[in-house]
Structures are given as structure tokens and as C-alpha cells.
Amino acid sequence: MLDLREMVDQWKKIFTLASKPERDDFMTTLKLSLLGMAIVGGIAFIIRVIFYAFLFPQIAG
């Protein structure tokens, strides 16, 4: 098992090797993440509407 000193040294190495993403890469990742969340949210909304329309038609209107 690593002791604390070795673990901190490994973290330092990772932080020195890591680089900040370029703006284009960041924007692409952001757009894909937002698109994925919108798709999942849309599917959840459709399932909820179907659930209420068929199981509780008096609530759905």
C-alpha cells in the first residue's frame, strides 16, 4: 500500500502532466453533455406523460 508521501508525489505528477483543454475541445464536450442531458430528460418526460395518460387518465385531463 502506498504511503501518503508517495500518493502526493503521484498526484503532483498527474497535475504537472495534465493540460487545460483548448476552447474548441471544451465547447464540443459541453455541447455533447448538454445534448445527452436533453435527450435523457426528453425521454423521461415522454415516459411520464405516457404513464399519467394511461394509468391516471382523470389527472391527465
Q: Which three cell numbers stand for residue 18?
A: 495534465
Summarize pLDDT for 40-57 with one digit per residue, the tens. 999 999 999 998 888 877
Summarize pLDDT for 23-34 with one digit per residue, the tens. 999 999 999 999
User: What pTM, to 2 d.p., does this model score?
Assistant: 0.62
Burial pattern 6-22, b for ≥16 Cβ within 10 A else e, equals: eeeeeeeeeeeeeeeee
At residue 59, the pLDDT reads: 65
Q: 41 or 15: whose pLDDT is higher?
A: 41
At residue 53, the pLDDT reads: 85
CB-based contact 52:59 (threshold 8 Å): yes
